[in-house]
Amino acid sequence: MNSSDSALVTAASAGSELLSFASKLYPICRSITGNGVRKTLALIGDQIDLKQHEVPSGATVFDWEVPLEWNIDDAYVLDAHGCKIIDFTAHNLHILNYSEPARLSVSLEDLRPKLHSLPDHVDWIPYRTSYYRRQWGFCLRHRDLTALQPGQYQVRIDSTLAAGSLSYGECVLPGRVKDEVLFFTHVCHPSLANDNTSGMAIATALAAWIGGQSRRYSYRFVFAPGTIGSLCWLKRNEHRLARVRHGLVLGLLGDPAPLTYKFSRRGDCEIDQVVPYVIRSINPASGTIAFEPYGYDERQLCSPGFNLPVGRLTRSVNGGYAQYHSSADDLNLISADQMQTSLEACKRIVEVLESNRRYLNMAPKGEPRLGKRGLYGSVGGRSPADRERAMLWMLNQSDGTASLLDIAERSAISYADTRTAADELAAAGLLKTLEGPKPERAAALSRRRPASRVRPLRAQGRKDKRKGEK
Ligand code: ZN
């Protein structure tokens, strides 16, 4: 077996491991609180070092309150003949998530307003929730709804709404510096595969992989219920948010759509440069979308009181595929290949974040003589001309303002070749590594262009985003 064959086999088995973990998570009835989340965190905790946190019901979290804990054992509706016409044990989407307990006899007329279906997709069960309005309800295939006959129905919901707690999990991987990269994924959806067993499986595998790497940054993975879970995490971690240098919300990473990056609210963070670069290098059809206060936990992480440098990586976007929030978002929608490519993208993003640095040219007056330092000639399969070109770009741009990725993008030389050139020049004493965050991009841009030709950064961002949406 040659090395490229073995790489393919490794990639394929990693993809099937992701899919098999997603399949394990899929049947669990999750919600924003309860044992489904705990069971999910336990499975994730079998693979990575995960600390489980509990926030008690009634705890005030900014403008919100942690609700009563919801658990459910069984729920069904019997028709006049005693036949189960809706059965929670057959599919957990059949219950309106967070339904209060119920045991009653109702006419079809009274039952009808409690039933939810999708008239445009008669064979799919919708996913519906009612976290903050106490009620009960069922979801069913529209085909089954329209077949219901007039008569009495027996409704039984064995659920509990009681003082308990909200659970979230956290995996912290310390690095050489305390600055952190934050990965966030939601763990509150029941049997929906893309949204979000795919995100949970990929975040778990990514944490396991980073755990085995030598790393500059510290990494923090948060597995939390959407909205109220991220608010709880923010409330408990407010004192350390200044350490978050980069962040990414992960979700919806298993479906066939190309990867999509959603910009942070700030729009000009390093993560906003790194992720579009990486996903387009993997597949030019990958896209970007502008920030909007709608979606997953970027809504909380990028609220104005936090405004964290956090973007979002998905394939399809929330609401952007027909099967979204329905029983058709099942294990057939996600594939090992798609999951594997998504994980690979996350790994490359981490590699660029880890290695993206600024350098200072130590011989900036004229071009230094490369030949006398042994920096001419063919190395590592690159032609002497390509090697020299990458070095000249590195030397020319390394005035302390441009990062490796800035230089790779400006020169159209690959990031890997730019990085190799930087390593070789640093080893020869021609470049010095600079630590710490780079000056604001806007400042760097204005230094690179004559003042009269500087376009406002915000306008450039808009143009880039439109390009990506096609
Ligand atoms: Zn969702």
Statement to judge: residues 99 and 26 lie in one domain: no
pLDDT, mean of residues 2-24: 76
- Cα 318 to averaged position of ligand 1 atoms, centre (Å): 6
Statement to judge: residues 258 and 306 lie in one domain: yes
**Closest to 226 (Cα-Cα) out of 133, 299, 161:** 299
**298 inside domain:** yes
- Cα 282 to averaged position of ligand 1 atoms, centre (Å): 26
Percent of the chain with pLDDT over 90: 86
- Cα 147 to averaged position of ligand 1 atoms, centre (Å): 29
pLDDT, mean of residues 411-439: 91
- Cα 190 to averaged position of ligand 1 atoms, centre (Å): 10
Boundaries of domain holding 58: 3-66+165-354+459-469
Per-residue confidence band for 469, with pLDDT thresholds at 50, 70 and 90: very low
- Cα 325 to averaged position of ligand 1 atoms, centre (Å): 6
**215 inside domain:** yes
**220 inside domain:** yes
CA angle 164, 235, 318 (to 5 degrees): 85
User: For residue 419, with 0-12 CB atoms within 10 Å meaning exposed, 13-18 middle and 19 or more buried, which class applies?
Assistant: buried
Statement to judge: residues 238 and 115 lie in one domain: no
Task: Give the span between the Cα atoms of 216 and 265, in whole angstroms.
Answer: 25
User: For residue 158, with 0-12 CB atoms within 10 Å meaning exposed, 13-18 middle and 19 or more buried, which class applies?
Assistant: middle
- Cα 316 to averaged position of ligand 1 atoms, centre (Å): 11
- Cα 36 to averaged position of ligand 1 atoms, centre (Å): 16
- Cα 70 to averaged position of ligand 1 atoms, centre (Å): 18
Statement to judge: residues 283 and 372 lie in one domain: no
pLDDT tens, position by position, 262-321: 999 999 999 999 999 999 999 999 999 999 999 999 999 999 999 999 999 999 999 999
- Cα 296 to averaged position of ligand 1 atoms, centre (Å): 8
Q: What is the pLDDT of residue 405?
A: 97
**368 inside domain:** yes
pLDDT of residue 458 exceeding 60:
no
**219 inside domain:** yes
**441 inside domain:** no
pLDDT of residue 175 exceeding 80:
yes
Of 110, 135, 162, which residue sits at a domain end? 162
Q: Are 224 and 184 in contact (CB under 8 A)?
A: yes
Task: Give the span between the Cα atoms of 111 and 288, in whole angstroms.
Answer: 44
- Cα 251 to averaged position of ligand 1 atoms, centre (Å): 9
Statement to judge: residues 341 and 395 lie in one domain: no
Can you give the pTM of this predicted structure? 0.90
- Cα 71 to averaged position of ligand 1 atoms, centre (Å): 20
**440 inside domain:** no
- Cα 35 to averaged position of ligand 1 atoms, centre (Å): 19
Q: What is the CATH number of the domain that holds 195?
A: 3.40.630.10
- Cα 452 to averaged position of ligand 1 atoms, centre (Å): 46
Statement to judge: residues 39 and 158 lie in one domain: no
- Cα 72 to averaged position of ligand 1 atoms, centre (Å): 20
How many CB atoms neighbour CB 443 within 10 A? 11
Count the domains in the chain: 3
pLDDT, mean of residues 25-44: 98
Statement to judge: residues 197 and 112 lie in one domain: no
Half-sphere CA count of 15, side-chain side, radius 13 A: 19
- Cα 96 to averaged position of ligand 1 atoms, centre (Å): 14
Q: Are 53 and 169 in contact (CB under 8 A)?
A: yes
- Cα 65 to averaged position of ligand 1 atoms, centre (Å): 21
- Cα 326 to averaged position of ligand 1 atoms, centre (Å): 10
Q: What is the CATH number of the domain that holds 78?
A: 3.50.30.90
- Cα 209 to averaged position of ligand 1 atoms, centre (Å): 26
pLDDT, mean of residues 450-470: 35
Residue with tokens 């939390």: 224
**450 inside domain:** no
Statement to judge: residues 195 and 297 lie in one domain: yes
Task: Give the span between the Cα atoms of 198 and 253, in whole angstroms.
Answer: 5
Statement to judge: residues 17 and 104 lie in one domain: no
pLDDT tens, position by position, 324-371: 999 999 999 999 999 999 999 999 999 999 999 999 999 999 999 998
Relative to beta strand 260-262, strand 287-289 is parallel
Of 115, 140, 162, which residue sits at a domain end? 162
Poorest-pLDDT segment among 125-134, 248-257, 395-404, 429-438 = 429-438
Statement to judge: residues 128 and 219 lie in one domain: no
Q: What is the CATH number of the domain that holds 418?
A: 1.10.10.10
Of 145, 162, 179, which residue sits at a domain end? 162
Statement to judge: residues 308 and 330 lie in one domain: yes
User: For residue 383, with 0-12 CB atoms within 10 Å meaning exposed, 13-18 middle and 19 or more buried, which class applies?
Assistant: exposed
Statement to judge: residues 94 and 42 lie in one domain: no
Q: What is the pLDDT of residue 381?
A: 64
- Cα 415 to averaged position of ligand 1 atoms, centre (Å): 34
